[in-house]
Structure 1
Amino acid sequence: MIERFSLPGTISAMHIESIAAPDLSWQEQALCAQTGADFFFPEPGSSVREAKRICGLCEMRSACLEYALTHDERFGVWGGLSEKERLSLRQTQRQ
């Protein structure tokens, strides 16, 4: 708990930052970063077809999906999969 409040630049702080902060560099190259969140977080009942089309063209798709599964993202389209599809994939992986 004390390490959480370590001064920036100290060994303890660097160690904690490397553990706590996931690598999000892939997001800068992702097509969704250039498109906007509306496609990827649509209103309930709206189509996710356009988001999936964009994801299908994106080179960062696998990193995005891995991030969503690792961090249990429950909303939106991540890595080309909707919330329901990711839930189904998680359930399949557990079996």
Structure 2
Amino acid sequence: MATTSRTPVAALWDWQRHAACRGMSSSVFYAAPGARGAPRRELEQRAQQICGDCPVRRRCAEFALVTRETYGVWGGLTEAERADRLGTGRKRGPGRAR
């Protein structure tokens, strides 16, 4: 039987083994479709608290930015924060909270 080694692709994801969120439901980091206002902000804040002490937070945020991850909280960055950093943020009109 041949031994398995880490492939280059597997190495790209290896950092996730050390994530504080490992084993948690993804629903902690992804708002329900159509979620707005206070419920969405509360979900994002809870997710950011988990990310706060994560040993791979920076790597996770970098991954989300490089891959242009559209949804969820990654490395403590919300969808809007990533869009702002990438310059793809939506223009906010009157009444649209940040």
Which one of 46, 56, 80 corresponds to residue 52 of structure 2? Answer: 56
Equivalenced residues, count:
74
Unpaired runs of at least 5, structure 1:
1-16
What is the CA distance between 1:31 and its match in structure 2?
1.0
Normalising to structure 1: TM-score of the pair? 0.70
Higher fraction of helix: 1
Indicate the structure whose relative CO is greater, using CA pairs within 8 Å and at least 6 residues apart.
2
What is the CA distance between 1:57 and its match in structure 2?
1.1
Question: Separation in 2 of the partners of 1:38 and 1:26?
Answer: 21
Aligned to 1:23: 12
Unpaired runs of at least 5, structure 2:
1-6, 89-98
Question: Separation in 1 of the partners of 2:17 and 2:30?
Answer: 18
What is the CA distance between 1:39 and its match in structure 2?
1.1
Normalising to structure 2: TM-score of the pair? 0.68
Which structure's CA Rg is the greater one? 1
Q: CA RMSD in A?
A: 1.8
Which one of 66, 86, 92 corresponds to residue 62 of structure 2? Answer: 66
